[in-house]
């Protein structure tokens, strides 16, 4: 049995919040997926359900069709890079063109810790980067222990880059400056609540507010005090509260700014952006 929600005891929500990276398409939500989505609506939390291979991308689309406060991203993670053949690319492009609730490409990128060769990872990433740029869709970056090489690739394509979202930013403040110079949005999650997460907390305290996004990466990376539990999208409020404290702002101010950022970058319908839950 899970412990009580990390947002327990907070006052009623007055400002909608956007989780820009969640995985309700993961098997850990098989038993209560739609109930979790309903709980998101109850806490005025909207979100982007992110694919990491072809089946999970299809599942993200199905979820976004069922829940008005969910949108989908489709793409292939470095761990599945070998599966990104011509047919898969064609299918991704079809979804991006034909499915109105598919608003981004990803997650894709580079990861030093997965057992897939760097060449295959780079080929898969560059194919998705090209597609995102050509179709005018934002690109969700997964980067683990290889920020230098990612920055080289992005810099080499600076003239034709889509808007990029650096998911679960683990980069140093110095690398973050380079990402920002390339127009990248910085998405921060539960590590900002961890006592030992020096880099994310320093980034959270200093990046321009107009470049900040919030995420949970649920069911992964739970906040401080929830170690070993399944993370849930509603804990984006915990992330929001932690960043607000680091910046000397209110939770509502951070929620409002990051909501506007997410709706702008993902090009969400104006009607949704202004009244996502009918308020």
* 49 in a structural domain: yes
* pLDDT score of 55 more than 50: yes
Query: Count of domains in the chain?
Result: 1
* 6 in a structural domain: no
* 11 in a structural domain: no
* 10 in a structural domain: no
Q: Round the average pLDDT of the chain to a whole number and report it.
A: 94
Residue 113 binned pLDDT confidence (cut-offs 50, 70, 90): very high
What pLDDT does 4 receive?
40
* 50 in a structural domain: yes
* 3 in a structural domain: no
The string of pLDDT tens digits covering residues 144-203 is 999 999 999 999 999 899 999 999 999 999 999 999 999 999 999 999 999 889 999 999
* 168 in a structural domain: yes
Residue 81 is part of a domain; what is its CATH number? 3.20.20.140
**Which residue do the tokens 């869709």 mark?**
137
* 172 in a structural domain: yes
Q: Mean pLDDT throughout 240-267?
A: 97
The residue segments making up the domain with residue 219 are 17-274
Cα 113 to Cα 118, 143, 166, 229: the distances in Å are 10, 10, 18, 23
* pLDDT score of 258 more than 90: yes
Structure pTM?
A: 0.94
Q: Mean pLDDT throughout 238-254?
A: 97
Sheet holding 185-188, edge to edge: 17-22, 45-50, 70-74, 102-111, 139-144, 164-166, 185-188, 212-214
The string of pLDDT tens digits covering residues 211-225 is 999 999 999 999 999
What pLDDT does 6 receive?
43
């Amino acid at each position: 049995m899970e412990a009580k929600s990390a947002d327990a005891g907070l006052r009623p929500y007055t400002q909608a919040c956007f989780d820009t990276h969640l995985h309700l398409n993961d098997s850990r939500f098989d038993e209560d997926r739609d109930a979790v989505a309903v709980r998101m609506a109850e806490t005025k939390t909207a979100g982007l359900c992110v694919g990491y291979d072809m089946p999970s991308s299809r599942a993200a689309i199905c979820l976004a069709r069922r829940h008005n406060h969910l949108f989908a991203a489709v793409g292939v993670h470095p761990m599945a890079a070998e599966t990104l053949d011509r047919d898969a690319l064609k299918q991704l492009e079809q979804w991006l063109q034909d499915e109105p609730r598919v608003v981004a490409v990803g997650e894709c990128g580079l990861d030093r810790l997965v057992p897939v060769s760097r060449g295959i990872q780079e080929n898969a990433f560059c194919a998705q980067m090209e597609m995102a740029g050509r179709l005018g869709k934002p690109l969700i970056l997964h980067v683990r222990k290889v920020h230098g090489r990612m920055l080289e690739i992005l810099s080499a394509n600076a003239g034709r880059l889509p808007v990029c979202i650096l998911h679960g930013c683990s980069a140093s403040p110095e690398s973050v400056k380079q990402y920002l110079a390339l127009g990248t949005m910085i998405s921060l999650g539960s590590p900002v609540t961890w006592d030992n997460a020096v880099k994310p907390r320093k980034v959270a305290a200093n990046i321009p507010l107009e470049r900040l996004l919030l995420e949970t990466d649920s069911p992964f990376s739970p906040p401080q005090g929830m170690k070993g539990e399944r993370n849930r999208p509603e804990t984006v409020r915990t992330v929001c509260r932690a960043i607000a404290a680091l910046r000397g702002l209110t939770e509502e101010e951070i929620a409002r700014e990051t909501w506007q950022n997410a709706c702008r970058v993902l090009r969400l319908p104006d009607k949704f952006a202004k009244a996502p839950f009918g308020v």
